[in-house]
Structures are given as C-alpha cells and as structure tokens.
C-alpha cells in the first residue's frame, strides 16, 4: 500500500517537529511531555477566536472554564469538552484555541474540563473528573443558562475516549446527553489495527508513544478490556447519544475510531463520520499553520449545532428483535 499523500502544510509541521531533535515521547518524563504539548499548542494554534465571555468555575471540585460565544438570556446549547494529551498532558490552557473555535463557530457554550492526569492520577481519576463535571453541568443547567436537553460531550484523542465513556455512563444513569463529539478518539487499548502498522512512525503520534500513554493511564492496574477503559469493548451501543466521529487519514488511531463509528451506526445511533485525508493525529490543534485544520472547524460547526438542536429526547429506540 502506498503511503498517504500528506497535506504540504501538515508535512511542514512534521518537519519542524523533527528538526527540534527531541527524544521520542516514550523516552521523556511526563513533565517533559506536558511542556512539549503546551509549547506546541501555543506555536501551532494561531489567532484565537473571539468569544463574548470566559469564566472559570468549580464543578464539584473539578476546575472548568466556560466559553460563551454571545450575550443572551436564552438557554444555550452546550458542549462539555475534555482535552487530549494521552491522559498525561494537556490542560484547559493547551486547548483554549479549539474550545474557542467550537464555541464561536458552532454558536454554543463550551465547558472545558481540567481533569486529573496520569501517571500521578491513573485510571479512573480522569474519568471520574470528566463524569463529575458533566453531571454538574447537567444538574446546574438552569443556573448556567443552558438548555438541559441540548448538552453534549466531546473531546480529542484521549479526551475523545473520556467523552465516549461519559456518553455511555449518561445513558446508563439517565443523565441527558444529546451528542458525543469524538475527535480522533482512542477507543481500544489493543493497538492492533492496520493503521497502527501503517502509521507506526513518521506521522506525529507513534505506536510506541501510544503504548507509553496507555501504560501511564493504566498504571493503577486497570483491566485494558474494561469498557470504561476501552469504549470499543462495550457490547451494547444502542440508545447512545448521537455521534460525530472525526478521524485523520495518517493516524494510528484511525481504524479503531472508524470501527467504533460503524458500530454506533449499526446500533441505530445517528452517526456522522468525517475522515480528513492528508491529515495526522492532532491536526485540529494546528489551525495557525494548516489551513485545512482551521477550515475543519467551519465544516464541523453546522453538524455540531444540528445534532444538539435535535435534543437527547429525539434519540430513536432500536427496533425490537425479529
């Protein structure tokens, strides 16, 4: 199979990262990985989208940052967002750009969550923070001027993993969630799909780096096959919130994310899938250097808004067997 033809601007970003001469992720300390992601996020994002208001809040002990695109007294649609970074790195600060872009371009409130990171806080600490913040947003929707029927969850990479698990918890615990926005999510700890072989190195996120991230997250001895670790292990995907699943062509996580999207669709979950050819893992954090990355937010915004507008109440029940 011929290697993918990368977007020239994506290739330029990869060349810049290679020229830095940094050791691979698996040879770094967690603090070094965090600093690298923070620096690259600042360098690669570019100009921030303007929003009407930003406020920090305490979601039952979990720090969150709330982005409001416009001034309004009407209840707003919202997305609770979990940043990526392999459960080890990333923060509210590193994902300021993506959260502002989603808020502004989709015209919704975004609540960004500062969950605890591994290896200091391995599974399930980050997941519990993500769930606590989501419950808090839903429970306090009226005070936050949000429409409780039109709240979604979302995230990129490891944050997409958290969003998928939170969406399932919400279904099982009767918390209304209208959308799961999964941006190149990690859905399985198996790491044995064809894309793991095709893009094992040379495309940003490597197979070895992903193995290291999983090791940090599961350092507490969690079962990698547990559905709250690997959402792809969940057998029953029926009645889950509608889904938007975004993948990058040259990404080790591509196949597991697309397989999860297909299973959602076959389980009667309204699902939209978008593969961005010529892109690599993390491309949505490169909007200042890659025009296609910036344009992706404009392309996804109408779908995000349309899915939330339908509300969680409109999720169809699966047909009875037979």
Please state the separation of Cα 159 from the chain's center in Å: 4
Q: Is 95 noted as a catalytic residue in this protein?
A: no
Print burial letters for 72-81: b (CB count within 10 Å at least 16), e (below 16): eeebbbbbbb
Task: Indicate left, alpha or beta for 185 from its phi (over 0: left) and psi (-120 to 50: alpha).
Answer: beta
52-59: which pairs have CB atoms within 8 A and are 24 or more residues apart? 59/111, 59/113, 59/132, 59/133, 59/136, 59/137
Roughly what angle, to the nearest 10 degrees, separates helices 30-45 and 96-106? Answer: 40
274 neighbors 245 (Cβ within 8 angstroms): yes
Nearest 5 degrees, angle CA 18-CA 184-CA 212?
55
Task: For residue 60, indicate whether it is catalytic.
Answer: no
Q: Which of 138, 157, 158, 195 is the catalytic position?
A: 157
Q: Which residues contact 124 (CB under 8 A, 6 or more apart)?
A: 222, 228
Active-site residue, selected from the candidate residues 149, 251, 255, 293? 251
Q: Which of 95, 230, 281, 293 is catalytic?
A: 281
Residues 262 and 258: their CA atoms lie apart, in Å, by: 6
Secondary structure class of 223 (helix, strand, coil): coil
Q: Does 303 participate in catalysis according to the annotation?
A: no
Q: Is 38 exposed, middle or buried (0-12, 13-18, 19+ CB in 10 A)?
A: middle
Q: Residues 287, 9: contact at Cβ < 8 Å?
A: no
Report the catalytic residues.
157, 251, 281
């Amino acid at each position: 199979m011929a290697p993918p033809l990368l977007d020239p601007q994506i290739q330029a970003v990869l060349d810049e990262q290679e020229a830095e001469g940094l050791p691979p992720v698996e040879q770094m300390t967690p603090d070094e990985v965090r600093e690298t992601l923070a620096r690259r996020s600042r360098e690669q994002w570019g100009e921030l989208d303007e929003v009407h208001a930003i406020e920090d809040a305490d979601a039952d002990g979990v720090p969150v940052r709330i982005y409001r695109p416009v001034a309004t007294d009407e209840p707003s649609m919202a997305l609770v967002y979990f940043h990526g970074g392999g459960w080890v790195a990333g923060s509210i600060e590193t994902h300021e750009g993506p959260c502002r872009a989603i808020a502004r371009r989709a015209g919704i409130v975004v609540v960004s969550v500062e969950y605890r990171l591994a290896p200091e806080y391995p599974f399930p600490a980050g997941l519990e923070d993500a769930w606590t913040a989501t419950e808090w947003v839903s429970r306090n929707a009226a005070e936050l001027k949000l429409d409780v029927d039109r709240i979604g969850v979302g995230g990129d990479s490891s944050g997409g993993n958290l969003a998928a698990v939170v969406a399932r918890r919400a279904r099982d615990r009767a918390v209304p969630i209208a959308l799961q926005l999964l941006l190149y999510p990690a859905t399985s700890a198996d790491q044995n799909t064809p894309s793991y072989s095709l893009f094992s190195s040379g495309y940003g996120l490597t197979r070895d780096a992903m193995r290291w991230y999983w090791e940090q997250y599961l350092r507490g001895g969690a079962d990698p096959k547990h559905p709250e670790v690997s959402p792809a292990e969940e057998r029953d995907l029926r009645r889950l919130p509608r889904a938007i699943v975004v993948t990058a062509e040259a990404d080790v996580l591509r196949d597991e994310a697309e397989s999860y999207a297909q299973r959602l669709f076959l389980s009667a979950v309204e699902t939209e899938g978008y593969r961005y050819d010529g892109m690599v893992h993390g491309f949505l954090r490169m909007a200042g250097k890659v025009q296609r990355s910036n344009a992706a937010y404009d392309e996804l915004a109408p779908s995000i808004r349309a899915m939330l507008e339908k509300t969680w109440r409109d999720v169809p029940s699966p047909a009875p067997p037979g």
